[in-house]
Amino acid sequence: MAEVQNYEGALDKGLEGVVACSTGVSFILDSSLCYRGYLIEDLVQNSTFEETTFLLWNDRLPKTSELEQFRQDLSREMTLSEDFITVLKTIPTKVHPMAWLRTAVSLLAHWDTEANDNSPQANSHKAMRLTAKMGTLVCAFEAIRHGKEPVKPKSDKSLAWNFMYMLKGGQEPTAEMVKIFDTCLILHADHELNCSAFATRVTTSSLSDLHSAIVSALGALKGPLHGGANEQVMLMLKKIGTM
């Protein structure tokens, strides 16, 4: 019987050293994060989440008229339909928030007439709808789990403003709070090929639909070694309290 050789030492662990793809969307060099060649510090200082999203999707900053149209398109898609909210209220809320959000995004596909259309135009429409509705879904969960009615977003306000507004049950946020959250959205918009982005690419590579790809990303983001790490930081800060 031939001797079985052990080649374990010759194998890379995980995906270490393996090139999965190349990207021009973003890159991290030392302590600097860049989107499409723009330093994150400059974007945080001079841009908004909506403008940064346009940059990431189109490889350029928008003209004034384009940005206004982009904002209007996002605003038009922020609101959740009443029948969809009725279904959301049937999802158990005594679960991890990411588990609830994962289910809600999956259900959202049933209200999207282009859900199974993988054409570039349809995917662009779905990306717009998902980006606009994600914050509304999170705030709906917060309201529903406390026995309250979800607050409707205001179409003349930004995504960051509306998130803080809906999260606080209809209380208008301060400009400082909006700026802080808008900064957070920009900082979290893209980070090369992280775990959730990779999960999305794997699902998309099978020619599955966009909603399924985002659900895959949410499943990966929920893990304690990825998005769950932020959750642990929040728990630590609450435990520390004030000095």
pLDDT digits (tens, 9 = 90+) for 144-197: 999 999 999 999 999 999 999 999 999 999 999 999 999 999 999 998 888 898
| pLDDT the model gives residue 15 | 63
Distance CA 77, CA 237 (A): 34
| pLDDT the model gives residue 31 | 81
| pLDDT the model gives residue 124 | 97
> Would you say the C-alpha torsion 186, 191, 192, 196 has a positive or negative sign?
negative
| pLDDT the model gives residue 243 | 66
Percent of the chain with pLDDT over 90: 74
The pTM of this model reads: 0.87
Percent of the chain with pLDDT over 70: 93
Distance CA 36, CA 38 (A): 6
| pLDDT the model gives residue 174 | 97
User: Is residue 154 a contact partner of residue 173, using CB atoms and an 8 Å limit?
Assistant: no
HEC readout, 37-91: CEEHHHHHHHCCHHHHHHHHHHCCCCCHHHHHHHHHHHHHCCCCCHHHHHHHCCC
> Is the confidence at residue 224, as pLDDT, over 60?
yes
Mean pLDDT of 77-101: 97
Helix %, strand %, coil % for the chain, to 5?
55, 5, 40
Structure tokens at 150: 């979800």
Instruction: Give the pLDDT confidence of 6-63 residue by residue, as tens digits.
Output: 545 555 666 667 777 778 888 888 888 999 999 999 999 999 999 999 999 999 999 9
Distance CA 7, CA 32 (A): 38
Mean pLDDT of 80-101: 97
Cβ of 98: how many Cβ atoms within 10 Å? 18
| Count of residues in the chain | 243
Q: In which band, very low, low, confident or very high, does the pLDDT at 231 lie, cut at 50, 70 and 90? A: confident
Distance CA 170, CA 150 (A): 9
| Mean per-residue pLDDT over the chain, rounded | 91
